[in-house]
Each structure stands twice: as C-alpha cells, then as structure tokens.
Amino acid sequence: MDKITVVGGGLAGCEAAWQIARRGIKVELADMKPGKKTPAHKSDMLAELVCSNSLKAARIDSAAGLLKEEMRRLGSLCLFAADRCSVAAGGALAVDRGAFSAIITEKIKSSPDITVTERTVNEIPEEGICVIATGPLTGGTLADSIGKLCSGGNLSFYDAAAPIVTAESIDKEKAFYASRYGRGTDDYLNCPMNKEEYEAFYSELVSAETAPLHDFDRPFKVYEGCMPLEVLAKRGKDSIRFGPLKPVGLTDPRTGRRPWAAVQLRRENAAATLFNLVGFQTNLKFSEQKRVFSMIPGLENAEFMRYGVMHRNTFINSPRLLNRDLSLRTDGRVFFAGQITGVEGYMESAAGGIIAGINAAARLKGENPLILPDFTMTGALLSYISSPAVSDFQPMGANFGILPPLNGHIRDKRERYTALSARSLGWFDAAGFKRS
C-alpha cells in the first residue's frame, strides 16, 4: 500500500500529513470535523487552537523558543502559518487564531498528495501505515480500539498531575536524600517540616485559589489515588500529614529526629535533573502553586518546570508502548503523535506530528528513522515519553530540565539556557537542517 493514513486534523495530524506529502507519498487525512466536534472545538477548520492564541515564548534561549526554532529547521507547517499571522504579544509568539487555522487548512487541502476526508475513525486501520493524532479528548470506540492495541496501556480519566521542579533549584542544605525505613539510599529527596512550618503551609494550602475547569472537564471526578492535595487537605488538619506528607520512617539528619511532616520528591527522569513532588496532584492556580509550595523548606527558590494540572486527558502509556521514532513497539506500522502521546502544549504536539510524519514516510520507503539526539528539545521530549525509565508517567511540555546538563556548569540561568540552545542548534546546522 503506497498511502499513509493520518487520523486527526489537529496540529499534530496536519504536521504529520504535511511531512509525509513533502516526501512524495499520498496521504489520507481523516478528521471528524466539520460534521462532528468535541465540546472543545468550535471551528470547522483544521488545526484549531482551542484554549489560547499564544504559542509561548519566542526567544531562542527559552525552552519554548528553542522548540519552535527546531521545528522551523524541520519544515514545520504550523510555524509557517504562525509566522505569517502573528499578533503583538511582547516576547511571545501569538497568532490570529482564525488566520492560523485558515492558512494551514488551505495548505493542506491544496496539496496534490493530501486528501482530506470527513469521517469518524472508530478503530485503528488493520492494514497500512497510519499515524494516530486524535488528541487528548479521544473517546468512544476509537479509544477502546487503542486500548486493545496497546494491551491496557491506554489511560483515560480526569487527570491530576503533580508539579515538577529542577534538581539544582532545591536547597540541599535543608532537603536530604533518604527512603523510608532506610529502604534505598538516594531514591527520594525529603523536605522536612516542623510543626509551625507545617501549620503555616496547611493554612495557605486550604485557602489557596483553584483554577476553573472547562465545561468538557466536568463532571469533576478522579480516582482516590489522584485526589488533589488541596481537596485531601480539607478533610482535616492532619489528613495530608498521614497521607503524602507522612514523616514515618524518616529521620532528619539535622536534628536526628523524625520531622513533624515531610514532602518527598522523586526523580522524574534518569538524569535526575527533575524531581516530582510526590502526592502533590493539584488544581491550584499556577501562581498559587508557586506561592504555597515555595513555603516548603528547601523549595523556597524552586524552579517549576511544570505546574500541577487537572483536566480531562486521554493519553497512552508511551514509555511502555512507543519507540523513539513514535511507532508502536508491538506494531511498527502504527505511529502516534500529539497530546495522546503525553506531550503537553500546542507546539509540543505539533513537533511530535513532524517526527511521526517523517518516520512514517521513512518506514514506507524502507529508510532509517530520524532519531533526534536528546540534547535537542524535540529529541529530549520524545526521549522522555519513550523511555522505559520514566515511572508514574504524566504529560510533559518543553523545558530545559529534560535536557542533559552541559559539561561545565554555568551558574547564570540565562547564559546556561543560551548555551543549551546553541548546543542543540549546532547539531541541526551540522546535520543540514537549515531555516528555509
């Protein structure tokens, strides 16, 4: 079969179809719109921006800016459109939403190698190479089909994710490495609290402002194990002290005694550059998370790479299921792209679409896949979502914390980020990926 099917006309699906067509391969882009929409969709066009018109920072020395520059080097259709319909937004790249979708829709529909079909895909095609890019609101029989193909790796629920901070921003004079009852050595970083510190933290936590939920995120229902910290805290003053902040089995080396409460941080990646606040799933506003969680001893100057979120989300357990080229380990003809793989954000989704499209085309032609090094932002994201070492998998957006550190430490953050960006773009230059 000399045709590739792409399911889903969002940013990831359009990028995948575009990259496949650029390589002279026929594509069917199947999308349920305009005949059918999720509650989040309003427009009849492809590549609709649902929640915001901002594509985040434009500076190359920012994580979001570096990701976009890499995408430009890879021939991104979304960046082609964004650069032509940008609106003033300070240091961010923001777009006219309608114009953005219109440009992409026109480019896709005018391509001689892309056929857009309005149809609801209820199951993964049994033959031929395909890219599944149906987004975080994937449901119904297609979600069931994905679940069967992924052998139980499909996750679909009201998702509460915990914040992630950089390792270097944690005050190691206050935090200490230990596992409860000495079971392990440096498995967890622990931030101990005395009674006064805990009570001050608790008071601010239960009174902090929560983020509003979208209509399609209701009814608000989560599993007990995903209970937002602030909801659990309101059950009683000691509820979290006997839950995620329990100090049992820990000894603070500074005092030689068990702390009144303790916040545990777990390694988020194999390089231990990122740490997850264990049990801190939350729906607090981002500004409130920064304010309240910075009260935790050792996290006063914490650099948050991802804040906690709560929203309806459907994503596969990518670290267990996907290869680095975004193909399914158990069925190499099936590729996944976009938010359904566990990347978070418009451009992150689009970047996954680019790589899935390139590699789906390579699979059809019998060529080697494009595997970007993990010191590039795109490569690091795909490494994160496909690494079996990642546990308790939750969606991740572009951030410098997922990149391997530089050989020499640079104290100044802006200089360090500039050097990380230069390292990535230097590889793109050497590999022949130039700005078009």
Q: How far is CA 285 from the centre of its chain?
A: 18
Parallel, antiparallel or unpaired: strands 3-7 and 26-31: parallel
CA dist., res. 421 & res. 408, Å (int):
15
Helices (H) and strands (E) in the chain, counts: 12, 17
In order of start, what are the domains of the chain with their CATH numbers? 3-158+312-430 (3.50.50.60), 164-307 (2.40.30)
Tokens found for residue 95: 């777009």
**Do residues 243 and 226 lie in contact, with contact meaning Cβ atoms separated by under 8 Å?**
no
Burial class (CB in 10 A: 0-12, 13-18, 19+), 285: middle
Tokens found for residue 162: 């915990």
**Do residues 124 and 144 lie in contact, with contact meaning Cβ atoms separated by under 8 Å?**
no
**Do residues 362 and 16 lie in contact, with contact meaning Cβ atoms separated by under 8 Å?**
no
User: Residue 156 is inside which H or E element, if any?
Assistant: strand 154-161
State the Cα angle at 356 between 351 and 359, rounded to 5°.
125
- How many residues does this entry show for the chain? 436
pLDDT value of position 185: 62
State the Cα angle at 187 between 282 and 169, rounded to 5°.
60
Residue of 278, 299, 365 whose CA lies nearest to 167? 299
Neighbours of 423 (CB within 10 A): 16
Sequential pLDDT tens for the chain (436 residues): 589 999 999 999 999 999 999 999 999 999 987 766 665 566 789 998 876 678 988 999 999 999 999 999 999 999 999 999 887 666 778 888 788 999 999 999 999 999 999 998 888 888 899 999 988 777 777 777 777 777 655 555 445 678 989 999 999 999 999 887 776 666 689 999 999 999 999 999 999 998 876 554 444 444 444 678 998 999 999 999 998 999 998 999 999 999 999 999 988 776 788 888 988 989 899 999 999 999 999 999 999 988 887 766 678 889 989 999 999 999 999 999 998 998 988 999 999 999 999 999 999 999 999 999 999 999 999 999 999 877 778 788 999 999 999 998 888 989 999 999 999 999 999 999 988 6
Residues 6+ apart with CB under 8 A from 404: 271, 273, 374, 375, 380
Q: What is the DSSP string of 298-346?
A: T-TT--EEE--EEEEEEEE-HHHHB-TTSEETTEEEEEE-SGGGTB-SH
CA distance to 81, 156, 265, 304, 398, per residue, from 53 (Å): 13, 26, 34, 23, 18
Tokens found for residue 32: 């349920």
Torsion of CA 32, 36, 39, 40, to 10 degrees: 40
pLDDT value of position 43: 76
Tokens found for residue 159: 């998702």
